[in-house]
Structure 1
Amino acid sequence: MQKKQNIFTYSIIVNASEIDELNHVNNTHYIQWVQNAAQKHWNILSSTHLNTKYVWVVLRHEVDYLAPAKLKDELLIKTWIGNSYGVKSERFVEIMKGSKVIAKAKTIWCLLDKTTMKPVRISEEILKVLE
Structure 2
Amino acid sequence: MTEMPIELVAQDLNAIGYIETAAYLKWVQAVVIKHWERFASEAAQASTLWIAVKHVISHQAAGHASDALVARTQIKKLKGVRALFVTTVSNGETRLVDIESTWVCLDSITKLPKALDPDVVRLFVETGAS
**TM-score, with structure 1 as normaliser:** 0.89
Describe the SS at the equivalent of 1:121.
Answer: coil
**Could you tell me how far apart the structure 1 residues matched to 2:113 and 2:11 are?**
36
Equivalence map 1:1-131=2 (5 Å): 7-131=1-125
Query: Percent identity at matched positions?
Result: 20
Q: Is 46-55 or 7-16 further displaced after alignment?
A: 7-16
Counterpart amino acid of residue 70 in structure 1:
H
Residue deviations 1:35-80 (CA, integer Å, cap 9, x gap): 0111111111112201221111111111111111111210121111
Counterpart amino acid of residue 112 in structure 1:
L
TM-superposed deviation, 1:123? 2.3
Counterpart amino acid of residue 110 in structure 2:
T
Between the two proteins, the alignment pairs up a number of residues equal to: 125
**TM-score, with structure 2 as normaliser:** 0.89
* Stretches of 4+ aligned residues off by more than 6 angstroms: none
Task: Please tell me the root mean square deviation across aligned C-alpha atoms, in Å.
Answer: 1.2
Describe the SS at the equivalent of 1:84.
Answer: strand
**Could you tell me how far apart the structure 2 residues matched to 1:101 and 1:40 are?**
20
TM-superposed deviation, 1:16? 2.3
Q: Is 121-130 or 79-88 further displaced after alignment?
A: 121-130
* Structure 2: gaps spanning 5 or more residues: 126-130
